[in-house]
């Protein structure tokens, strides 16, 4: 390996020595201009596509699937030491922000209890502790508490810990759960006797988080991951007390473009394997009482998606079969496999996108989206009604509704100024009850903030929804600092929900905006399809056009704009940094997917094969050329870039750490500006950052401090 000539060996050595715990110059005595960043070594490496196109990736050596390469770890450690040094003068601001962020949290809080069979279930937190306690009470909320899982005790002594999912057996006596102690989303299945407190000895590792009980109260279905690609590939059945090595295989998925999930139907009569690719889905079900072969409800058909649930002897289906924006239909056991025989419950509507539903004995609750906003429709014997909202930009969603016999519908409501609020609505009388609004401490008053819904024109004539919030008293005179957030992939809609972390920015006079760009599904299925594959660049230009609109309408100063995105939103950040670097003063890019072509050429990397329908397969020259034209890593040029903060986790299984590491290394070598560029690698975390509700705010405080420093916000 060779080192680029523009590196300063003495400065790099000092940083490496500091990272190893040896004496180095005090960062407090230095200014950022005097600090020299690490410079990664280069090593020629050709990445060759099946059609023969070749690219040199001089930082490919930073990839180490074992996470043990000393040279790679030394580089990441040096980058962390450099970030420490650059941010040292802003420690007071970072500490202040951390105090504000955590000071808004009611630490001894609990969720709204919900009733299921004989018990009330809830989650609670304790003062000063990072992890939840999952508990229940029998019969009444005045009964004695039964602690199912104290995650604080389970996480004790571990750098990372997360409970993926948990399920109580049908007889309510056993608990099965999945846990991850690394951050790589490779879970371990455990089982506990809730009556005695005994945790059984069998453990099954290398799993996805979903699990499902059979009605015999001793059989658990689980999903096994491929040890190399980490893809969900096989479903097995474990009998309590047996050797997991002998667990029978009940289903294997041969197509690597499909994800696997598990569910029990609302009627509790069926266990279903849910198979989904980007464009196609299939649901295979078996009797929960006498499990056998998992048979498809409707055999997979190209570009046909469906989601089915069962109650009161009928199947209800959400599907895009002959319905671009999806429709709701019902079917019997005899007709479920023949969509031409389904009966419409909610016909297709080009202006309304159906997202989800929940079944009750006497009504159906439907989540849908119109004009970029979510809403709830209730279909009952007397007709249909919509749940009302009070603000111009908001989000509304179904909450936990465990009992289908209830006449009360639970749902959540939130906006950029309204904390998440749980209501229940009596669908017969129309009575609405407020169950809980998430407490926000620190003197928060929603009356101090104003929310707007704007429509920014895209360069091709599309109308881009933009949600904006600011503190009242804000004057739209073109001088404010702005943080604009975006995602725009996978059809995931970025709803304008409350985020207490943003309050620290608003209270300092900033404006916060969410650009609901193409690639999401805010405006229906076409909005998604116009931001993927060979139309992916619409996602990036929409974000830039929304920025231009906000500046043109004086919501922000042209030289005080920050942009932020994570994961596929980090791809967005990398693209706009290359396409319009002068429009952004600072970019926050978290766990960013920035090496699009190399990753999508490598089917051993988790998620690659699942996502050919999202990005395209670069083995095809047409997709290769298009993806290469926007891939952030490949499009880095010798020019000025904004100040940038890039965050990653060493154990990330969704976007591998080496993508942002290589990206920063190449940026350092090619950019011509003197703006700070920081790479922060969490050495004990994965895609979601640190575990623990308080710990993750250290990361938030750091990148917010970086942003405020760069924007000149006092």
Q: Which residue has the tokens 């922060």?
A: 680
Strand order in the sheet with 449-457: 449-457, 463-471, 511-515, 482-485, 561-566, 586-590, 643-649, 677-682
Pairing of strands 343-346, 114-116: unpaired
Using alpha carbons, select from 114, 7, 699 the residue that is nearest to residue 411.
114
Give CA–CA dist 428/409, Å, rounded.
10
**Residues whose CB falls within 8 Å of the CB of residue 422, separated by 6 or more in sequence, listed in order:** 112, 399, 410, 411, 412, 434, 435, 436, 437
DSSP-derived secondary structure letter, 354: E
Give CA–CA dist 60/446, Å, rounded.
49
Q: Are 368 and 521 in contact (CB under 8 A)?
A: no
Element (H, E) at 206: strand 204-213
Chain length of the chain: 714
DSSP-derived secondary structure letter, 670: H
Q: Which of 567, 589, 631, 691 is catalytic?
A: 567
DSSP, collapsed to helix, strand or coil, labels residue 663 as helix
Give CA–CA dist 547/410, Å, rounded.
37
Pairing of strands 383-386, 259-264: unpaired
DSSP-derived secondary structure letter, 679: E
Distances 676 to 91, 116, 282, 634, 644 between C-alpha atoms, Å: 16, 53, 48, 21, 6
Extract the tokens encoding 72: 């790679």
Extract the tokens encoding 31: 């200014």
Q: Which of 238, 310, 516, 687 is catalytic?
A: 687
Extract the tokens encoding 84: 């420490």
Q: Are 332 and 314 in contact (CB under 8 A)?
A: yes
Extract the tokens encoding 202: 């069998």
Element (H, E) at 84: helix 70-87
Active site residue 348: no
Give CA–CA dist 667/495, Å, rounded.
32
* Count of alpha carbons within 13 angstroms of residue 332, beta-carbon side: 3
Using alpha carbons, select from 96, 95, 97, 144 the residue that is nearest to residue 119.
144
Active site residue 652: yes
Active site residue 429: no
Extract the tokens encoding 683: 């050495």
Give CA–CA dist 164/262, Å, rounded.
13
- Report the alpha-carbon angle 421-96-567, nearest 5: 60
> Which residues are known catalytic residues?
567, 652, 687
């Amino acid at each position: 390996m060779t080192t680029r000539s523009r590196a300063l060996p003495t400065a790099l050595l000092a940083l490496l020595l500091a990272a190893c715990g040896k004496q180095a110059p005090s960062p407090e005595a230095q200014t950022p201009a005097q600090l020299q960043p690490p410079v990664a070594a280069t090593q020629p490496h050709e990445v060759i596509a099946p059609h023969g196109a070749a690219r040199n990736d001089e930082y490919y050596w930073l990839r180490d699937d074992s996470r043990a390469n000393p040279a790679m770890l030394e580089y990441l450690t040096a980058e962390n030491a450099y970030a420490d040094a650059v941010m040292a003068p802003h420690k007071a601001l970072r500490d202040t922000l951390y105090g504000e962020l955590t000071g808004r949290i009611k630490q001894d809080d609990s969720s709204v209890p919900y009733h299921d069979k004989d018990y009330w279930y809830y989650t609670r937190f304790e003062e000063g502790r990072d992890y939840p306690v999952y508990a229940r009470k029998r019969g009444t909320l005045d009964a004695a508490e039964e602690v199912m899982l104290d995650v604080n005790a389970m996480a004790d002594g571990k750098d990372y810990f997360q409970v993926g999912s948990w399920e109580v057996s049908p007889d309510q006596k056993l608990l099965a759960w999945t846990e991850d102690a690394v951050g790589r989303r490779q879970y371990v299945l455990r089982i506990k006797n809730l009556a005695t407190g005994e945790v059984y000895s069998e453990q099954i590792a290398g799993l996805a988080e979903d699990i499902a009980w059979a009605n015999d109260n001793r059989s658990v279905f689980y999903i096994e991951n491929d040890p190399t690609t980490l893809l969900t590939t096989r479903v097995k059945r474990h009998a309590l007390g047996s050797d997991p090595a002998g667990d029978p295989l009940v289903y294997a998925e041969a197509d690597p473009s499909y994800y696997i999930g598990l569910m029990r139907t609302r009627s509790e009569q069926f266990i279903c394997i849910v198979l989904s690719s980007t464009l196609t889905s299939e649901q295979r079900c078996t009797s929960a009482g006498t499990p056998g072969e998992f048979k498809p409800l409707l055999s997979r058909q190209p570009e046909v998606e469906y989601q089915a649930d069962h109650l009161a002897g009928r199947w209800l289906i959400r599907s895009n079969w002959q319905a671009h924006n999806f429709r709701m239909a019902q079917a019997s056991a005899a007709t479920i496999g023949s969509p031409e025989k389904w009966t419409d419950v909610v016909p297709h509507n080009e202006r309304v996108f159906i997202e989800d539903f929940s079944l009750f004995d006497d009504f159906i609750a439907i989540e849908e989206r119109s004009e970029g906003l979510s809403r709830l429709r209730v279909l009952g014997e007397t007709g249909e009604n919509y749940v009302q909202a009070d603000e111009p930009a908001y989000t509304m969603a179904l909450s936990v509704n465990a009992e289908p016999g209830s006449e009360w519908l639970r749902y959540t409501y939130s906006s950029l100024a309204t904390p998440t609020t749980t209501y229940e609505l009596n669908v017969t009388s129309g009575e609405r009850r407020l169950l809980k609004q998430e407490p926000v401490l620190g003197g928060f008053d929603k009356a101090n903030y104003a929310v707007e819904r704007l429509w920014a024109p895209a360069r091709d004539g599309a109308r881009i929804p933009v949600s904006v919030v600011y503190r009242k008293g804000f004057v739209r005179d073109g001088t404010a600092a702005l943080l604009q957030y975006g995602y725009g992939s996978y059809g995931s809609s970025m709803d304008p929900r409350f985020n207490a972390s943003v309050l620290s920015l608003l209270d300092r006079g900033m404006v916060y905006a969410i650009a609901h760009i193409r690639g999401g599904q805010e405006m229906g299925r076409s909005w998604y399809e116009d931001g993927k594959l060979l139309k992916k660049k619409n996602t990036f230009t929409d974000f830039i056009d929304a920025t231009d609109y906000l500046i043109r309408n004086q919501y922000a100063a042209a030289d005080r704009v920050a942009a932020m995105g994570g994961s596929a939103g980090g791809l967005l950040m990398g693209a706009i940094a290359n396409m319009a670097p002068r429009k952004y003063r600072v970019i926050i890019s978290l766990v960013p997917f920035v090496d699009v072509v190399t990753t999508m050429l490598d089917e051993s990397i988790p998620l690659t094969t699942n996502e050919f329908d999202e990005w395209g397969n670069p083995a095809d020259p047409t997709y290769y050329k298009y993806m290469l034209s926007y891939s952030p890593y490949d499009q880095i040029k010798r020019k000025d870039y904004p100040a940038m903060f890039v965050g990653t986790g060493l154990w990330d299984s969704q976007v591998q750490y080496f993508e942002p590491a290589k990206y920063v290394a190449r940026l350092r070598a090619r950019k011509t500006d003197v703006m700070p560029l920081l790479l922060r690698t969490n050495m004990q975390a994965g895609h979601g950052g640190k575990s623990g509700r308080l710990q993750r705010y250290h990361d938030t405080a750091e990148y917010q401090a970086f942003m405020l420093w760069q924007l000149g916000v006092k």
